[in-house]
Amino acid sequence: MFIRNDWRGNCLITKANDTVKASADIIVDSHVRRDYGKMLGIDYTKFEVDGDRIQCTFQQKFAFKKFDMNFVKKITKHDDRIDIQFKTVNSLIDLRGKWSVTSTPDGSYIKLIQKTVVPVWARYVPGAEQLISGKVRMIFEQMKNI
């Protein structure tokens, strides 16, 4: 697994990729199921699927604050890959990015690029970058277990 973080002011750019045994369809299907949250260790307080669009909300704790993370995801199928674009809406942290899933002979190649804009105060909280990298690492590890 490859994960790289680069800070640009109070914006953390995370790039990650890995190969997993699960097919692209299975990985994409996991995103449209409510139990995807359980896989990530979160409980959705809201989860709605409307075709290729998903809206979900869960509680997040960061440093001394607890807040709702409201996500919108959109699934787009291309000839050579499937993209899952995501962004937060009305959340304390502005997070947006894209998962690209490409079929391989032995499973799938997954690539993530994510931009996390954190409040200025959070930029200097010890462990901010490690928290984000840890969550990305956990998602990849869970995808290996699908």
pLDDT tens for 126-144 read: 777 888 888 899 888 888 8
Percent of the chain with pLDDT over 70: 96
For the domain that residue 77 is a member of, what is the CATH number? 3.30.530.20
Query: What pLDDT was estimated at residue 115?
Result: 96
Q: Is the pLDDT of residue 56 over 80?
A: yes
Beta strands of 28-64 (E only): which ranges?
44-50, 53-62
Q: Mark out the alpha helices in 14-146 (DSSP H runs).
A: 24-31, 36-40, 120-123, 128-144
Report the C-alpha gap between 85 and 87 in whole angstroms.
Answer: 7
Residue type, 65: K
Query: What pLDDT was estimated at residue 62?
Result: 67
Look up the domain containing 35 and give its range: 2-144
Question: Do residues 83 and 99 lie in contact, with contact meaning Cβ atoms separated by under 8 Å?
Answer: yes
Q: Closest Cα to residue 116, out of 17, 4, 14? A: 14
Domain count for the chain, please give it.
1
Tell me which residue has tokens 């604050």.
Answer: 65
Residue type, 52: D
What mean pLDDT is predicted for residues 118-125? 73
What mean pLDDT is predicted for residues 44-49? 90
Question: Do residues 48 and 54 lie in contact, with contact meaning Cβ atoms separated by under 8 Å?
Answer: yes
Q: What pTM value is reported for the model?
A: 0.87
Q: Is the pLDDT of residue 61 over 70?
A: yes
Query: What pLDDT was estimated at residue 71?
Result: 93
Condensed to tens digits (0 to 9), the pLDDT of residues 29-44 reads 888 888 877 777 788 8
Question: Do residues 110 and 98 lie in contact, with contact meaning Cβ atoms separated by under 8 Å?
Answer: no
Query: What pLDDT was estimated at residue 63?
Result: 64
Q: How many residues does the chain have?
A: 146
Neighbouring-strand partners of residue 42? none
Query: What pLDDT was estimated at residue 111?
Result: 97
3-state secondary structure of 129: helix
Query: What pLDDT was estimated at residue 131?
Result: 81
Condensed to tens digits (0 to 9), the pLDDT of residues 73-118 reads 999 999 999 999 999 999 878 999 999 999 999 999 999 999 999 7
Report the C-alpha gap between 33 and 54 in whole angstroms.
Answer: 10
